[in-house]
């Protein structure tokens, strides 16, 4: 099945390559807005000095639902889309705080993170624009900041004077594949372009790995490897 799919893609691409017209047309510097969801479970157990897994101990082996909005702006749009992206996300997880014997208490505790990324973005949209294969592989690399805080009983949790909040810095990368939806209804896609300036719609899935541990410094490690899925609009 995979071989057949590869063969068909190759068959579609080869004629274009063979006739020497595989030039990416001049494209405007577009903006892409992405809305995505994923399940994020921080590597708290990898924090320096930690022997157990406080995340699992508190919340169980259940990831946080992460919602993100990302805006990518092309700085160059020729042989692919090269630009800068900014994303802001939000994830929270709540569970009952534990009593000293490990049983659940009557009050809730929570972990809230607000991942912020500033990334260099490259999207290989040549396949879609030149060879009419509606797939856009892409990659992102950049810096991240993870503002975070913990709650207990409705207030920021403080233990022995140490407030459970802060910002973790680091870096991260993303590798993804977007499916350009224009082929489903080309006439509708053309109308959307003319009427509202939306060049393309995408469905996408991506793998992210964030290293939010102050580059290996002391303190909580909020990095994670996780998948996100979503919808994108290219203006």
Partner 1 sequence: MRPLLAALLLLPALGEAQTLAVTINGAITSGTSTVPVLAFNAGSCGSTLGGSWTGTSLTTACTSLQIWVTASSCGTAPSTTNVPADVIIYTAQAGDLANGLATDTFTFLANILPGFSASGSACGSTVDFTNTVCAAVTLNTATNGCTGTNVQAPTVSLRYDNVPPLPPTVTLVPLDSQLSVRLSPSDATDTITSFQAQYAVEPTDGGTPNYIGVGGTIPVNNAAVTISGLINGTNYLVQGFSVDEASNVSVASTPVVGSPVLTLGFYANYLNDGGQPGGCGESVGGGPSALAFAALLVLGVARRRG
Asked whether 209 and 169 are in contact (CB, 8 A), the reply is no
Q: Write down the least CB distance from residue 69 to partner 1, Å.
A: 10
Q: Is 82 in the site for partner 1 (CB under 8 A)?
A: no
Our finding on whether 157 is near partner 1 (CB under 8 A) is yes
Residue 33 binds to partner 1 (criterion: CB under 8 A): no
- Whether 181 and 198 have beta carbons less than 8 Å apart is answered as no
- Residue range at the interface with partner 1 (CB under 8 A); choices 121-129, 133-141, 144-152, 183-191: 144-152
Interaction between residue 59 and partner 1 (CB under 8 A): yes
- The CA-atom distances, in angstroms, between 70 and each of 88, 118, 179, 183, 188 are 7, 10, 17, 24, 25
Task: Select from 106-114, 120-128, 130-138, 186-194 the region that touches partner 1 (CB under 8 A).
Answer: 106-114
Q: Rounded to an integer, what distance in angstroms lies between the CA atom of residue 73 and that of residue 84? A: 5
- Exactly one of 1, 18, 100, 194 binds partner 1 (CB under 8 A); that residue is 100
Can you tell me whether residue 142 is helix, strand or coil? strand
191 belongs to the binding site for partner 1 (CB under 8 A)? no
- Residue 18 corresponds to which tokens in the numbers above? 């063979």
Q: Binding to partner 1 by residue 30, rule CB under 8 A? A: no
Contact 74, 83 (CB under 8 A): yes
- Whether residue 217 contacts residue 183, with contact meaning beta carbons closer than 8 Å, is answered with no
Residues that bind partner 1 (CB under 8 A): 44, 47-55, 57-59, 73, 84, 86, 88, 95, 97-100, 105-107, 109-112, 114, 116, 118, 145, 147-153, 156-160, 162-169, 214, 217-220
């Amino acid at each position: 099945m995979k071989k057949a799919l590869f063969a068909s893609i190759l068959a579609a691409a080869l004629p274009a390559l063979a006739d020497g017209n595989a030039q990416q047309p001049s494209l405007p510097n577009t903006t892409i807005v992405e809305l995505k969801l994923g399940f994020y479970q921080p590597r708290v157990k990898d924090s320096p000095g930690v022997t157990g897994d406080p995340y699992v101990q508190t919340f169980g082996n259940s990831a946080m639902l992460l919602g993100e909005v990302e805006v990518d702006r092309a700085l160059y749009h020729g042989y692919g889309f090269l630009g800068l992206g900014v994303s802001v996300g939000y994830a929270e997880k709540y569970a009952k705080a534990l009593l000293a014997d490990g049983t659940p208490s009557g009050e809730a505790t929570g972990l809230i993170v607000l991942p912020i990324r500033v990334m260099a973005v490259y999207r290989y949209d040549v396949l879609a624009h030149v060879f009419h294969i509606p797939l856009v592989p892409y990659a992102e690399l950049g810096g991240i900041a993870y503002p975070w805080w913990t709650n207990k009983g409705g207030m920021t949790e403080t233990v022995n004077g140490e407030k459970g909040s802060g910002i973790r810095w680091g870096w991260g990368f993303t590798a993804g594949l977007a499916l350009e939806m224009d082929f489903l209804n080309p006439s509708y896609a053309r109308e959307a372009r003319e009427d509202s300036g939306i060049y393309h719609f995408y469905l996408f899935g991506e793998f992210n790995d964030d290293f939010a541990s102050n580059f290996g410094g002391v303190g909580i490690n909020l990095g994670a490897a996780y998948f996100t899925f979503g919808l994108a609009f290219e203006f």
